[in-house]
Structure 1
């Protein structure tokens, strides 16, 4: 895999010159503690000065290997040439008019690209927003307007955001929901096909989980009351769970048969992250609506709901929007990110990252019993850590210790999972293979010291 830095001029090397975090970061952390709300956390309190390609440089001169991409955002790198070029040009022209006041071409161009790239050959339209949670909320609004129904069905281990409605949609209590209720009503949660933990085994998981989910919807909610079924085609915060084969097609068929809007939440998994433009393509899923954010704009805040034209047009004029939604600079960044994805064939790069990572991690799994499962696709790979492979008891302490050891050596990694026992790897798709392998070396050494 050639080193594709996405236009970054940063040296693509790991460099640890101080303790991590270093003295300057600690000084900034003290200032932060004094003025930034304590509820805003950070995985690793090193303060960034530059980032690009596969590295993050901090105020102390350390250069960290990036296996996080700002949570799957900087897939094209954090300073990709096309993103910087297009956003800078737009910044010089105008920063804002509000598309609902006087529109501009960039918004339309992004919607045209979304119509072309998202699954399905039907007529599509989009609306642009600022964040993933905002996109999901608007998908619910659109589905309710179209169906004239209220209920929304979501799944165990799902994550959809931190706003009131999306907290209700999200499965995990801590840290996302605890103490923040009451939550929005008419939200119903059903089982998902989590193969590694399915009682009768992964081979039975897809059809059994689908049957259970459909049975619960039918008995407890009533299909005729459901406006939308929302699922991440690869569940992100829940632990990079790939629903067992057959599960998603069965749920889609149930939705189609009952006039329910099927929404694919591709906020973390979209835009080449899994080796396809969108993860739902893996089983040929064509969603009615698809929500995107994160990787769409190379780090600039942008999100979208894209879907069947007749569904998208069901909301009345003025019913969708927001002051900053589809900001012109963010739209320019998105066009630059998509340009980069096409030119560098980042789907192929994601597949190569999967090949390297799964190959190395499989060897580690043979050596270290703490690795219970390896899963994911493309550059969205995870290991689930367990205390014992027979009982599969989650090992969140091991996940925390492993992440801490990696951070100390200059490798940024993230944890996730309903049980806090999953280490997830989201490297920029432009990372060099040398950095990728060096990061895996650090993980292997850290596993040996657990």
Structure 2
């Protein structure tokens, strides 16, 4: 397929992540404070969270809702270093969760992050970030993308490098390169490898609009999806085994123009609007092995045939936009996010136009007591006439409310309730879920 000409050696992102971890570990040793007087520039935080959770639909299944109580213990480590021109952070967390009645789903999920920001000169800003995770919960994405995965282990690695330069007192520009990979243990679930290159420019518009910055973004992204699986059929006198290879690639180009404005000391507004062009190419190859059962296997040998590959190509144009409104008061805060873009769907052999609406807010009732609420709506829909990928059409609603109590700086107690509606229009089913949890977090900075 022509789109694969943009491929790069995907082992690079793993090496970048190892180099990043090694670099930050070296910095941790080099800058670890021996005298107490410098401890303010460094933090070594440890925490552990204990959570009791009940959900009445673990897999968000419309026909067979499975309920259970889940007990989770999540230790976390974080190291932070800050100085005038350099800041670094490394953290890792493990979630050990156990089901009360379905211990076959017991597992441990892990997340690791590393960030390094460095200013080598007054006009330059450099940063590098890495992330690695290993997760397995079926509802891991429902509150971030609106999509549901089964309990299939996913390993994810991504790395991003950014450089920006201040061209003048009112203008800056830069570039960011990111690489991502997702691998699933299930052969029928699509793996993904992608990279993107983004150019951006910011310019102060104070001469025309007070407290406003204009910005321009141009992004190129390339995605590779692949899966290989086999299945068997019994035909009476013979057995057939099929091996299927599905591979597809997409190139996506987008340009947005926007601005960020401080409407007041407490209210910020930003908007980015533009368009995109995407090209999809896919190829599916099927191979068949036929073996005869006794007594025909004495007269006929096994047969093999490879069917002609099925190739498809699809081009599409679309709208890209993000609008954000945020409020930060003394006792309360709130945010509104509206977004629309073409995005890859984890575990699926393709992408979807994702529209999201998120409304969130919190309020401090007492000095140590705070409440929060949020509403999320996601609509994931694939291109209607696209022959290169499976049909995706889902709507997801998340209604959330919670309360948090912090009796001192080392302990946090919070409770949360989430009601989810998952409407899969492709299959004509709708699933509902109630989730309630209570969590206790204990944390301590050993360099205070």
Q: Same fold (TM over 0.5)?
A: no
- State the TM-score, normalizing by the size of structure 1: 0.24
> Relative to total residues, which structure has the larger helix share, 1 or 2?
1
TM-score scaled to structure 2, two decimals?
Answer: 0.24
Larger radius of gyration: 2
- Higher RCO structure (Cα 8 Å, ≥6 apart): 1
The structure whose residues are more often strand, as a share, is 2
